[in-house]
Amino acid sequence: MKPWVVIVAIVLILAVILTIRAFYEYASLVRTDYEVETEKFPAGKRLRLLVLSDLHDRVYGPENEKLLDLMKSCEPDAILLTGDILTASRKKDPNQVFAFLAKSSKIAPVYYAPGNHERKIKEKKETFGILYDVFRRTLKQNQICYLENEKTDLDENVCLYGLDLDLKYFPKLPYKNKKPIYTAEEMEEDLGKMDPSRYNIILAHSPRYFNAYASSGADLVLSGHYHGGAVRIPKLGGVISPQFVFFPEYDKGVYKKENTEMIVSSGCGSHKVHLRLFNKPEVMVVDIHGHLI
């Protein structure tokens, strides 16, 4: 047998195996746990946060039972949604997302910060009509706290911020002029100054502006947006973001800068490119606790 025939056969076999693996992973759903320790909590205190990002209208099982059952099993103190739970598309039926949000609010208090898709349906009503109004009404009816450059108290120790970035900070390649930069000064204008005596959490859909987040005095940032880089290569990380950014800097996992930790979710859904490899959809559980006695 000629060498080139062997090479082609091997490549085809690998392609089939990886395709099967990609379909399997896309249909999977996993729980990823993180532990965070802080001196701002009393010794022995623990707060469990369930973090969900980039669902993009995805449904897991009839009426999202698979996802909701996983969320219930985590027994969270609060559910934090970091944006792009729905997709800005006239072809999508939003009612499944609205039903999911309603059922989520029965599990634990829900706090929601917008991503670029929520921002898009708000700004482009000529395209999406009353979708944003119905979306906000659904949140209100289910007592879901929606944070658009606002803050709220989770408890006496924790202040939660929801960052609502302008669409210009979600660029598409190629850049028309230069890469947008979100500064610490702009962030202070949007969110105000943070109280250093509190444990400050920011729900920031895009992890791209970690420098600004770290300069703000935040203790913890929770993000998504890059979908884990779609295809992941061991030790190299995510290959490409939904925005066609190759090897995004903050694709998945834990990043630290100064006194700020950022945890980036690979998300639960996909948009445009329905591809995941070595990168299963995930629900994150973040346990924050004081120093153990």
Each residue's pLDDT tens digit, 98-149: 999 999 999 999 999 999 999 999 999 999 999 999 999 999 999 999 999 9
CA distance to 113, 172, 224, 240, 291, per residue, from 168 (Å): 17, 9, 17, 20, 41
Q: What share of the chain is helix, strand, coil (3-state, %, to 5)?
A: 30, 25, 45
Predicted confidence band at 198 (pLDDT cuts at 50, 70, 90)? very high
Say if residue 177's pLDDT is above 60.
Answer: no
Q: Is 287 exposed, middle or buried (0-12, 13-18, 19+ CB in 10 A)?
A: middle
- For residue 172, the model assigns a pLDDT of 74
**pLDDT band at 292; cut points 50, 70, 90:** low
Asked if 226 and 251 touch (Cβ cutoff 8 Å), the reply is yes
Residues 78 and 111 sit within 8 Å (Cβ to Cβ) = yes
Residue 256, Cβ density class (10 Å: 0-12 exposed, 13-18 middle, ≥19 buried): exposed
**Where is average pLDDT lowest: 32-36, 86-90, 104-108?**
86-90
The pLDDT of residue 79 is 98
The answer for residues whose C-beta is within 8 angstroms of residue 134's C-beta and 6 or more apart is 94, 98
Percent residues over pLDDT 70 in the chain: 94
> Residue with structure tokens 């947006």?
225
Report how far apart the first and last C-alpha atoms of the chain are (Å, whole number).
68
**36-45, 176-185, 240-249 — which one is most confidently predicted on average?**
36-45
The answer, yes or no, to whether residue 6 has pLDDT greater than 70, is: no
**DSSP-based three-state secondary structure for 258:** coil
Domains of the chain (ranges, CATH numbers): 3-289 (3.60.21.10)
Percent of the chain with pLDDT over 90: 72
Please report the pLDDT score of residue 176 as a whole number: 54
